[in-house]
Structure 1
Amino acid sequence: MRVTSPEIHEGIKVSELVEMLGKTAFNARRIGEAAKICEEMVKNDSFVFLTLAGAMIPAGMRKIVAGMMQNGFISSLVTTGANVVHEIVESLGMGHEIGSCYVDDKALAEENVNRIYDVFVSQEAFEKVEEFLSGVISELEGVYASYEFLWEVGKRMNDESSFLRIAAEKEIPVFCPTLHDSIAGLHVMIYRKNLQIDFFRDVSRIIDLCFQKRKMGVIVVGGGVPKNFTLQAMLLAEGFDYAVQITTDSPQWGGLSGATLEEAKSWCKLKPDAKAVTIYCDATIAFPLLYAYLLDSLKENQ
Structure 2
Amino acid sequence: MTDDEDAADTHPREEFHEDPLGHADVWAGMSVGDLATEYGKAGIGAAEMSRAVDVYTEMLERDDVTNFFGLAGAMVPGGMRKVVTDLIRDGHIDALVTTGANLTHDSIEAIGGKHHHGRTADSGHERDHDEQLRDEGVDRIYNVYLPQEHFTLFENHLRDRVFDEFDGVVATSEFTRELGRANLAANDENGVDEDAGIAAAAYEHDVPVFVPAIQDSVLGIQAWMHSQVSAFTLDALGDLTNITDVAFDAEKAGATVVGGGVPKNFVLQTMLTVPDAYDYGVQLTTDPASTGGLSGATLDEARSWGKLEKSAKNVTVLGDATITLPLLVAAARDRLE
Q: Distance in 1 between matches of 2:266 and 2:46?
A: 28
- 2:5 maps to none
1:231-260 CA-partner distances (Å, limit 9, x unpaired): 111112211000000111111211100111
Q: Is the 8 A contact 1:145 1:202 kept in 2?
A: yes
Which position in structure 1 is the counterpart of 2:145? 120
CA contact (8 A) 1:101 1:117 kept: yes
Could you say which residue in structure 2 is the equivalent of 1:254?
Answer: 292
1:227 is aligned, of 243, 252, 264, to 264
1:130 to 2:155 alignment: yes
Could you tell me how far 1:92 is from its partner in structure 2? Answer: 1.7
Q: Which amino acid aligns with 1:226?
A: P
In the alignment, what sits opposite 2:209? Answer: 174
* Count of residue pairs the alignment pairs up: 299
Q: Which runs of 5+ in 1 are unaligned?
A: none
Kept in 2: contact 1:79–1:176 (CA 8 A): yes
Runs of 4+ residues deviating >6 angstroms? none
For the 8 Å contact 1:151–1:164, the answer to whether it is kept is yes
Deviates more, 1:156-165 or 1:254-263: 156-165
CA–CA distance in 1 between the matches of 2:331 and 2:310? 27
Contact 1:63/1:161 (8 A) holds in 2: no
**Structure 1 residue 213: deviation in Å?**
4.3
Equivalent-residue separation in structure 2 for 1:236 and 1:126 (angstroms):
37
Which residue of 1 is the match for residue 103 of structure 2? 84
Q: Could you say which residue in structure 2 is the equivalent of 1:28?
A: 46
1:297, CA displacement in angstroms?
1.6
Q: Secondary structure at the residue paired with 1:41?
A: helix
Higher Rg: 2
SS in 1 for 2:183: coil
Which residue in 2 is equivalent to 1:109? 134
- Distance (whole Å) between structure 2 residues aligned to residue 171 and residue 142 of structure 1: 23
SS at match of 1:257: coil
| Partners of 2:176 and 2:214 in 1: CA distance | 10
Contact 2:278 2:309 in 1 (8 A): yes
Q: Does 1:44 align with 2:79?
A: no
In the TM superposition, residue 140 of structure 1 has moved relative to its aligned partner by: 2.1
Q: How far apart, in 2, do the equivalents of 1:14 and 1:268 lie?
A: 34
Q: Are the counterparts in 2 of residues 41 and 215 from structure 1 also a CA contact under 8 Å?
A: no
Distance 2:37 2:218 in 1: 41
* Residue in structure 1 matching 2:83, options 58, 64, 71: 64
Task: Look up the equivalent residue of 1:132 and give its one-letter code.
Answer: H
SS at match of 1:171: coil
Q: Distance in 2 between matches of 1:120 and 1:216?
A: 37
TM-score scaled by length of structure 2: 0.86
Deviates more, 1:13-22 or 1:2-11: 2-11
Question: Shift in Å at residue 205 of structure 1?
Answer: 1.1
Q: Larger deviation: 124-133 or 190-199?
A: 190-199
2:77 partner letter: P
Aligned to 1:205: 242
TM normalised by structure 1 equals 0.95
Give the secondary-structure state (helix, strand or coil) at the position aligned to 1:246. strand
Identity of aligned residues (%): 41
Following TM superposition, by how much is the alpha carbon of 1:4 offset from its aligned partner in structure 2, in angstroms? 2.2
The aligned counterpart of 1:19 is 37
> 1:146·1:175 contact (CA, 8 Å) conserved in 2?
yes
Query: Any idea what the Cα deviations from partners look like across 1:212-245, whole Å, max 9, x if unmatched?
Result: 2411000111110001111111112211000000
The separation in 1 between residues aligned to 2:165 and 2:301, in whole angstroms, is 45
Letter in 1 for 2:245: D
The answer to whether the 8 Å contact 2:183/2:196 transfers is no
Structure 2 partner of 1:98: 117
Q: Is 2:327 the partner of 1:289?
A: yes
8 Å CA contact 2:224–2:233 kept in 1: the answer is no
Distance apart, 1:142 and its partner CA: 3.3
Shift of residue 5, structure 1, vs aligned partner: 2.1
| Alignment correspondent of 1:150 | 176
- Per-residue deviation, residues 271-290 of structure 1 (Å, max 9, x unmatched): 11110010011101100001
* Contact 2:284-2:321 at 8 Å conserved across structures: yes
Q: 2:253, 2:279 within 8 Å by CA — same for their partners in 1? A: yes
C-alpha distance in 2, partners of 1:51/1:130?
25
